[in-house]
Amino acid sequence: MTFPSATLLAQSALSGVFIGSLYGLLGLGLGLTWGLLHIINLAHFGFAFLAAYLCYQLASVGGVDPLLTLALIVPLFFALGVAMQWLLSRYAVTPVNSLLATFGITAVIEAGIQYFWTADFRKLESAYATEKFRVGGLFVPVPELITLLLALALSFGLWAAMRYTNLGRALRALAEDAPIAAAFGVNRRAHAMLLSGICGALAGVAGVCLALSFTLTPSQIYAWVGVVFAAVMLGGLGSPLGPLAAGIVIGVSEAVTMAFASPSWAPIVSFSLLIALLLLRPGRT
Amino acid sequence: MKITMASPIAATLAALGTAFTLALAAPEASAQAAQPPIRIGSTLALTGPLAATALVHKVVGEIYVEQLNKRGGLLGRQVEWIVKDDQSKPDLARTLYEQLLTTDKVDLLMGPYATGAILSAMGVAQRYNKVLVHHTFGIPSMAKYEAQFPAWSLGPDPANTVPTTVFNALAASPKPPKTIAIVTSKFPSVHFMSLGAREVAKKRGLQEVLFLEWDFGNLDYAPIAARIKDAKPDFVWVGAIGLEGNQLLEAMSKIDYVPNEHFYMYPAPGPMSKSPLAKNALSMTVFEEHAPYTNAAGAKEFIELYHERAGKAGIPDTNVEVQAAASYTAWQILEAGVRGANSLDDAKIAQFLKTHKIDTIQGTLRFDGPSNYGDDLMRVKQVQNGRWVTVYPKEFAAPGATLVVQ
């Protein structure tokens, strides 16, 4: 193992922050539904990729700026999130069964994507896809920077909403003790649908970020599951800031490992870190 | 064209002749219609991660069977191709090949797509003593079954011969590299080639300035790109499969790095040739849409049909290159085997193939080497003006094309 140059190390760490912010953004909606609604929503990944393909379609064929596609994608995926929550609550799906049910929905979404866009690779070419600027000796790619800024804004925005608004308090109360919250007049069904809609919209935003930086193929849906689950578990279920912080920790640890050693060691280091933190963090049960 | 009859006698003779010919041909035609078709069974990864490439094989198979039937089929019978979806799962491919032989009772087998599925199919074929011609098997040393026949002419020792061809091409270029970075996916059929390249490079005196491996499915290529940039190699060997090559190129571009000379083992051909970042990228090929490949019998007609059908099937890149050519070759081998043996008996077909050379659109193949592999026919191609062209060896280079260096 040779010691990398300071520039290499800093550039790698920066790329870790960027990829980590995407882990965090993908994990944000997943962690909220898991922690607050007790639904392990694998379809979140399917929604994100569906949004990515829609963004690709609107931008490539329709000539719409990729970021402007959010105006359509966010409400559409909010509605999808609400619809899914209605479906799951209609059949009183348990947390474990939700994993299976949403895996099925993901498979259906994957098949749908393959039907409409084929299994071939799709790359969104946008005006700023290749834009970058220099800060000192480091290169900052614009699409990744957009992802980081969106992840920060949404994570802190949701954190503030959960902490300082009645809606946030109601959601936290429902997660803590649903019958008592209901006794105080909190409408569980309506709040659950609203939260599920928000998480659907978050998947939509994450999808646009995916389309900005990555080449799309339907089977890529599953490539993100492991590392995003790790970010959610490490960050804490139901926490709006946790997945982003954990995602960045994982991203940076992986990137720095790649800078020092073989890239194939990166998952070993990040998942060892996950195990260590889960075992050692205070308050574990 | 207008046909005139010279006299009533001539007209009568002509009518009699026609009637006689029809009388002779009719039993043959009706016999062909009466006989059940020869059924060829296979699986392809029509869904799942390998679906994009498997679709190429489906289109090629359909074209070939259609053309074959137009030529009268095999042994006087029409041919029917039964293809099942193995969902990119080798374990499912195994089950489906069992099903093809026991339930569908197909007469012959054709291989699936991708090394894992081919290995599964090979196990089933061996159990039932069936011939298995396969398209793109990546690890020849693992092909132990004596009645398997590879359509992809990698040669028996590609880990040595393929890098040797690449380094020969570079040595003949105006700027032979002195230093090399080898970065590779750990995907099995790619990894062993990269390890081979490492050995060959060492023997040839190239200084290795970087060696990196990543797990297949890696999401972040930025640190790998940064390390390549830091190592400043003259030549980068990228053991990449599918989109990995494009992902690495994009990561390099984000840190303003353009590799001097760069090679990609199994790139996604369309996305790479169309990417402006892939200028002068090198790879390997057995067929491209230019002479001398297009001089092979049937090649031009196949290319034309493939363009049309691939476009209709929604395949973004409709050029015939490695995958489509290997697929077409597999069908040529099976046809040659059946015709040569004049039988559907697998033992006879295998015997014929082992003892004869087969002319294909890739060139002449033989199956008498280790693991039934013959010569390594892999040639070096390069992205030039947004398309792949063969640049080495000279006799297979596209007209006027030479290896371009930065």
Interchain proximity A264–B186, CB inside 8 Å? yes
Q: How confident is the model at residue A246 (pLDDT cuts 50, 70, 90)?
A: very high
Topology of the domain covering B158-285+380-396 = Rossmann fold (3.40.50)
Decide: A233 and A78 in contact? Cβ < 8 Å. Answer: no
Which residue type does B382 have?
A: Q
> B222, A119: Cβ pair inside 8 Å?
no
Which B-chain residues 249-308 have CB contacts (< 8 A) with chain A?
250-251, 253-256, 268, 270-271
C-beta atoms of B255 and A11 within 8 A: yes
Mean pLDDT of chain A: 91
Going from N- to C-terminal start, the domains of chain B cover 38-153+292-375, 158-285+380-396
Residue with the larger pLDDT of the pair B166 and A219? B166
CA B247 to chain centroid, in Å, comes to 23
Q: What is the pLDDT of residues A45-79, one digit of tens each?
A: 999 999 999 999 999 988 999 999 999 999 999 99
Residue A1 lies in a domain: no
Q: Which of residues 119-178 of B touch A (CB under 8 A)?
A: none
B382 Cα to chain A: minimum distance (Å): 21
Question: Residue B30's pLDDT is what?
Answer: 54
Q: Is the pLDDT of residue B182 over 60?
A: yes
A118 touches chain B (CB under 8 A): yes
Confidence of residue B229 (pLDDT cuts 50, 70, 90): very high
Give the A window 122-161 contacts with B, CB below 8 Å: 123, 130, 132, 139, 141, 144
- Residues A177-197 have pLDDT tens digits of 888 988 888 898 899 999 999
CATH number given to B38-153+292-375: 3.40.50.2300
Mean pLDDT of B307-327: 92
| Contact at CB, B314 and A118, closer than 8 angstroms | yes
* Residue A205 included in any domain: yes
Q: CA angle at residue A115 from A109 to A117, to 5 degrees? A: 95
Residue B178 CB coordination number (10 Å): 12
Which residues, 6 or more positions from B71, have their beta carbon under 8 angstroms from its beta carbon? none
Region B205-228: mean pLDDT is 93
Q: Which amino acid is at B380?
A: V
Q: Residue A199: which residues within 8 A CB-CB, separation 6 or more?
A: A28, A29, A30, A32, A33, A41, A44, A81
Q: Any bridge partners for residue B380, and if so which?
A: B284, B392
* Residue A258 lies in domain: 6-280
The H-or-E segment that residue B392 falls in is: strand B387-392
**Ramachandran area for residue B280 (φ above 0: left; ψ -120 to 50: alpha; else beta):** left
3-state secondary structure chain A: CCCCCHHHHHHHHHHHHHHHHHHHHHHHHHHHHHHHHCCCCCHHHHHHHHHHHHHHHHHHCCCCCCCCCHHHHHHHHHHHHHHHHHHHHHCCCCHHHHHHHHHHHHHHHHHHHHHHHCCCCECCCCCCCCCEEEECCEEEEHHHHHHHHHHHHHHHHHHHHHHHCHHHHHHHHHHHCHHHHHHCCCCHHHHHHHHHHHHHHHHHHHHHHHHHHCCECHHHHHHHHHHHHHHHHHHCCCCCCHHHHHHHHHHHHHHHHHHHCCHHHHHHHHHHHHHHHHHHCCCCC
Q: pLDDT digit string (tens) for A109-160?
A: 999 998 888 888 888 988 888 889 999 889 999 999 999 999 999 999 999 9
> In this complex, is the C-beta atom of B311 within 8 Å of any C-beta atom belonging to chain A?
no
CATH number of the domain to which A73 belongs? 1.10.3470
- Tokens linked to B234: 């003259």
Q: Identify the pLDDT of residue A284.
A: 55
Minimal C-alpha gap between A82 and chain B (Å): 29
| pLDDT, position B4 | 36
Chain B nearest-CA distance from A133, in A, is 9
Instruction: Give me the count of residues in chain A.
Output: 285
For range B50-59, the mean pLDDT: 89
**pLDDT at residue number B33:** 56
Nearest to B224 among A16, A118, A263 (CB): A263
B276 min Cα distance to partner chain A (Å): 11
State which H helix or E strand residue B83 sits in: strand B79-85
Question: Exposed (0-12), middle (13-18) or buried (19+): which is B288, by Cβ within 10 Å?
Answer: buried
- For residues B344 and A117, give the distance between their C-alpha atoms in angstroms, rounded to a whole number: 40
Q: How far off is chain B from A22, nearest CA to CA, in Å?
A: 11
Query: In sequence order, what are the residues at sequence separation of 6 or more whose Cβ sits closer than 8 angstroms to the Cβ of residue A277?
Result: A234
Q: In which band, very low, low, confident or very high, does the pLDDT at B314 lie, cut at 50, 70 and 90?
A: confident
Contact at CB, A15 and B213, closer than 8 angstroms: no
Tell if the CB–CB gap between A219 and B48 is shorter than 8 Å: yes
Is B188's Cβ below 8 Å from some Cβ in A?
no
Rounded to whole angstroms, the Cα distance separating A184 from B178 reads: 76
User: Mean pLDDT over residues B218-224, rounded?
Assistant: 92
**Complex ipTM > 0.90:** no
Tell me the backbone φ, ψ of residue B359, rounded to 5 degrees. Answer: -80, 125
Q: Does B6 have pLDDT greater than 90?
A: no
pLDDT above 80: residue A10: yes
> How much helix, strand and coil, in percent to the nearest 5, is found in chain B?
45, 20, 35
Number of domains comprising chain A: 1
Interface of A with B in 6-65 (CB under 8 A): 7-8, 11-12, 15-16, 18-19
Answer whether B243 sits within 8 Å of A217, measured CB to CB.
Answer: yes
Contacts with B52 from chain A: Cβ below 8 Å: 118-121, 217
Q: Compute the nearest-CA separation of A161 from chain B (Å).
A: 32
What are the chain B neighbours of A119 within 8 Å (beta carbons)? Answer: 47-49, 51-52, 55
* Domain contains A151: yes
